Amino acid sequence: ESDVKQLWLQLRKDEPHLLSDFEEFLVRIFSQLQEADNEKKELECALKKKIAAYDEEIQHLYEEMEQQIKKEKEQFLLKDTERFQSYSQELECKLLSKEQELEQLVQKQKRLEQQCTELLSGKEETKVENTKLKLTNQELLRDLEKTSHELSLAQQQLQVLHEEASRLQEEKEMEVYRVTETLQREKSGLLKQLDFLR
User: What global pTM score does this model have?
Assistant: 0.34
pLDDT tens digits, 147-162: 777 777 877 887 887 7
How far is residue 33's CA from residue 187's CA, in Å, rounded to a whole number?
211
Q: Would you say residue 119 lies in a domain? A: yes
What is the average per-residue pLDDT within 53-66? 80
How far is residue 153's CA from residue 161's CA, in Å, rounded to a whole number?
12
Phi, psi of 15 (to 5 degrees): -130, 70
Q: Would you say residue 87 lies in a domain? A: yes
Give the range of the structural domain holding residue 110, as residue numbers without chain letter.
2-185
CA-derived radius of gyration, the chain: 77
- C-alpha distances (whole Å) from 59 to each of 47, 62, 63, 178 are 17, 5, 6, 166
Q: Would you say residue 174 lies in a domain? A: yes
What is the average per-residue pLDDT within 74-97? 75
- C-alpha distances (whole Å) from 147 to each of 132, 151, 157, 159 are 22, 6, 15, 18
Share of residues in the chain with pLDDT > 90 (%):
1
| pLDDT at 60 (0 to 100) | 84
What is the average per-residue pLDDT within 170-187? 81
Q: Would you say residue 193 lies in a domain? A: no
| pLDDT at 122 (0 to 100) | 66
pLDDT tens digits, 164-177: 878 888 887 888 78
Q: Would you say residue 197 lies in a domain? A: no
Q: Would you say residue 122 lies in a domain? A: yes
What is the average per-residue pLDDT within 92-104? 81
Number of domains in the chain: 1
Q: Would you say residue 53 lies in a domain? A: yes
Q: Would you say residue 192 lies in a domain? A: no
Would you say the C-alpha torsion 78, 79, 81, 86 has a positive or negative sign?
A: positive
| pLDDT at 123 (0 to 100) | 64
Residue 185 has pLDDT above 70, yes or no: yes
Confidence bin at 84 (pLDDT 50/70/90): low
Confidence bin at 124 (pLDDT 50/70/90): low
Q: Which residue has the higher pLDDT, 119 or 88?
A: 119
| pLDDT at 1 (0 to 100) | 60
What is the average per-residue pLDDT within 183-192? 78
Residue 30 has pLDDT above 80, yes or no: yes
- C-alpha distances (whole Å) from 148 to each of 11, 59, 84, 134, 136 are 177, 124, 90, 20, 18
- Give the least confident one: 6-20, 59-73, 127-141: 6-20
Q: Which residue has the higher pLDDT, 29 or 62?
A: 29
